[in-house]
Amino acid sequence: MMRINKFLALCGVGSRRKSEQFVKDGKIKINGTIVTSLSTNVKIGKDIVELEGKVLTLPSSYVYYKLNKPKGYLCTANDTVGRKTIFDLIESPVRLFSVGRLDYDTEGLIILTNDGDLAHKLTHPSKEIEKEYIVRIEGKILESEMAVLRQGVVENGIRMPKAKVNLVEYVGNDAKLSVIIHEGQNRQIRRMFECIGKNIKLLKRIRIGNVRLGGLPRGKYKPLTDYELAQLLN
């Protein structure tokens, strides 16, 4: 037995939240009957589950990749205006979805998998999985400004999550920093620096948990090593 939202996520139709929405919208049938309750259980190997007429099956095996996303790509399967997506960069016989997202102008590490359960765990705030970014900004940065970022900047009266922020080096007139966050709110790092009046010239994610981008070239991908996968699973 398995809850319907977990079953759908493991089948690769999307995140747990997206799977729940499919149920609420009446798009799921079990043995020919529409189900709308999130408490519905699936009998594995017995029930026939359909999404808009397509029979869903659990994958026989899981795949895990890391990708170095370039700027100018979306972290979505489809774009209504035809912009490039990260799925244009990867060839896979199974449907994949990304663990977390990077915005259009941000580059760096993305994990791709058909393991919906692991993806859900890695993106849930309660797991406090670290995401490390390299941020290059115009001009100098004061220790007092980094202290504000570390405590969580206040945006529209709401304090954003704390961050680990350290100066790496100065490159010409630019400051290069390491920023580590846990939650990963929408455009969180860009919003943080906007709040202290800094312009970001480069934003690149280099680590998720213990998985590092390393020397992977832009636009390229490769399977996670056994060690990297073990670190994520644990």
158: exposed, middle or buried (Cβ count in 10 Å: 0-12, 13-18, 19+): exposed
Residues 6+ apart with CB under 8 A from 89: 67, 69, 73, 219, 220, 221
47: exposed, middle or buried (Cβ count in 10 Å: 0-12, 13-18, 19+): middle
Q: How many CB atoms lie within 10 A of CB 165?
A: 22
Question: How far, in Å, CA of 119 to CA of 16, rounded?
Answer: 9
Q: Give Cα separations from 131 to 4, 95, 185 (angstroms).
A: 30, 24, 12
- Catalytic residue positions? 103
Tell me phi and psi for residue 149, to 5 degrees.
Answer: -60, -40
Closest to 114 in 3D by CA, of 101, 100, 97? 97
